């Protein structure tokens, strides 16, 4: 549970800005069509962190690595909170994104500590903390922005991150993993080598790219129609939609247990079908907020279930390289999130909410098709391993 909470707190730092895009656009003079770049910047740097920082978990002590990343995150959050110009804002957001990859170091640490027959459940629990942190970040940011301005979000988060760093330093088990006999440059090259050597990693990474593109298409652009007439909701009300998404993510926590029982493919197919269907109620945003809530729950349930199943599968491929496997997989997650953020705001500016929903449904349909085409091969590879 401590791993899950720490992951949720760390990853929330790169999602606080999503319900604040209209406010940031107004204060820093950023156009509506390009304001999604605030999120894209953090996701690009998150991808860099996945490549450059997460593999270190196979090389150095993960306990010290986690605490160091959290302490540096405190500094980055303070920079964002004090940002007087757009340039400094983007620089601070870049640092926040780079260091938020500590969540994936924690996931690999948790997987290493778990018994083999419980690894899916443990990864599911910790990953639930990540997804819930992503979603509740919107609620937290919306409420604080209405009460004390958007900068208070980053000041308070920096204080909570500092407290978590101190707590983890005191209570994390002094577990010494088997370290990879590689130099840092060899370690980085081995991330790419794993892609060439492990087809399961490649297949599941492509699925991660697609599901998180769809996820980001919804959550990056959702603030735009909800804050504009005729709906005109407050930041608090917009942020509260994250609670609905968190309910869906919690419901998907059992996906890890299903993977432990050998039902990972069934879970994936069901999740991707729900992801595609969720865009129908989401498209009714101007007619019914209840329909939107139903769609949000379905979408986040689907994304979380598929994500947990993906991670459970790749963690079983190379036990000695879990940090690198996580890094390689999550790079595609980050690319998907960045693509969805940029694409959704651009589509919204030119085609409105209906255009956003069509884009999300198309990406979701492609994910379902890709899974269907690769299902038998994945089953065969997993049985061989």
Token output for 128: 């639930």
The answer to whether residues 105 and 66 touch, using CB atoms and an 8 Å cutoff, is: yes
Q: Average model confidence (pLDDT) for the chain?
A: 84
Q: Do 307 and 123 meet the contact criterion of CB atoms below 8 Å apart?
A: no
pLDDT of residue 251: 64
* Helix or strand (DSSP H, E) at 288: none
DSSP category for residue 150:
T
* Lowest-confidence segment of 90-94, 166-170, 315-319 by average pLDDT: 315-319
What are the extents of the domains in the chain?
A: 2-170+181-384
196: how many CB neighbours lie within 10 A of its CB?
9
**Within a 10 A sphere around the Cβ of 348, how many other Cβ atoms?**
23
CB 184, CB 26: distance < 8 Å: no
The pLDDT value recorded for residue 385 is: 58
Residue appearing with tokens 């199943």: 309
Count CB-CB contacts under 10 A for residue 143: 18
> What pLDDT shows up at residue 177?
58
Arch. (CATH architecture) of 2-170+181-384: Up-down Bundle (1.20)
Burial of residue 258, with CB atoms counted within 10 A of its CB: 0-12 exposed, 13-18 middle, 19 or more buried: buried
Separation of first and last alpha carbons in the chain: 30
CA angle, 12 then 17 then 21, to 5°: 155
Report pLDDT digits (tens) over 214-266: 999 998 888 888 887 888 887 777 777 777 767 766 666 677 777 777 778 88
Contact of 248 with 301, CB cutoff 8 Å: yes
Place of tokens 């079908």: 273
Radius of gyration, alpha carbons of the chain: 20
Please give the torsion angle defined by the CA atoms of residues 152, 154, 160 and 166, in that order, rounded to the nearest 10 degrees.
-140
| Predicted pLDDT at 282 | 93
Residue 50: pLDDT above 70?
yes
Omega prior to 275 cis, within 30 of 0:
no
Residue range 174-193, pLDDT digits in tens: 766 566 677 888 888 888 88
| SS3 readout for 185-231 | HHHHHHHHHHHHHCHHHHHHHHHHHHHHHHHHHHHHHCHHHHHCCCC
* pTM recorded for the entire structure: 0.77
């Amino acid at each position: 549970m401590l791993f899950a909470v720490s992951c949720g707190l760390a990853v929330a730092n790169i999602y606080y800005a999503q319900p604040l895009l209209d406010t940031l656009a107004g204060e820093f003079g950023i156009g509506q069509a390009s304001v999604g770049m605030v999120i894209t910047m953090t996701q690009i740097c998150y991808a860099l962190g996945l490549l450059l920082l997460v593999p270190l978990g196979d090389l150095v002590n993960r306990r010290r690595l986690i605490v160091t990343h959290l302490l540096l995150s405190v500094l980055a959050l303070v920079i964002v909170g004090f940002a007087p110009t757009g340039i400094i804002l983007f620089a601070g957001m870049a640092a926040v994104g780079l260091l938020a990859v500590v969540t994936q170091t924690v996931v690999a640490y948790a997987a290493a500590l778990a018994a083999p027959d419980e690894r899916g459940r443990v990864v599911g629990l910790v990953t639930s903390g990540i997804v819930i942190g992503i979603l509740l970040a919107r609620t937290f940011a919306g409420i604080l922005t209405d009460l004390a301005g958007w900068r208070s979000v980053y000041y308070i988060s920096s204080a909570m991150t500092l407290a978590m760093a101190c707590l983890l330093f005191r209570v994390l088990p002094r577990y010494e993993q088997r370290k990879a006999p590689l130099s840092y440059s060899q370690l980085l090259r081995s991330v790419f080598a794993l892609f060439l050597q492990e087809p399961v990693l490649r297949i599941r990474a492509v699925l991660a790219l697609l599901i998180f593109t769809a996820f980001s298409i919804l959550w990056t652009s959702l603030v735009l129609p909800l804050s504009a007439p005729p709906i005109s909701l407050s930041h608090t009300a917009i942020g509260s939609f994250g609670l609905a998404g968190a309910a869906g993510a919690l419901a998907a926590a059992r996906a890890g247990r299903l993977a432990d029982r050998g039902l990972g493919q069934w879970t994936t197919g069901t999740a991707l079908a729900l992801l595609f269907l969720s865009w129908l109620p989401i498209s009714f945003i101007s007619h019914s907020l209840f329909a939107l809530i139903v769609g949000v729950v379905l979408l986040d349930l689907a994304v979380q279930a598929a994500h947990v199943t993906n991670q459970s599968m790749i963690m079983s491929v190379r036990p000695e390289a879990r940090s690198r496997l996580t890094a390689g997989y999550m790079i595609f997650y980050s690319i998907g999130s960045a693509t969805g953020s940029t694409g959704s705001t651009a589509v919204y500016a030119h085609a409105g909410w209906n255009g956003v929903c069509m884009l999300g449904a198309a990406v979701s349909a492609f994910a379902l098709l890709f899974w269907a085409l690769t299902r038998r091969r994945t089953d065969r590879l997993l049985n061989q391993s």
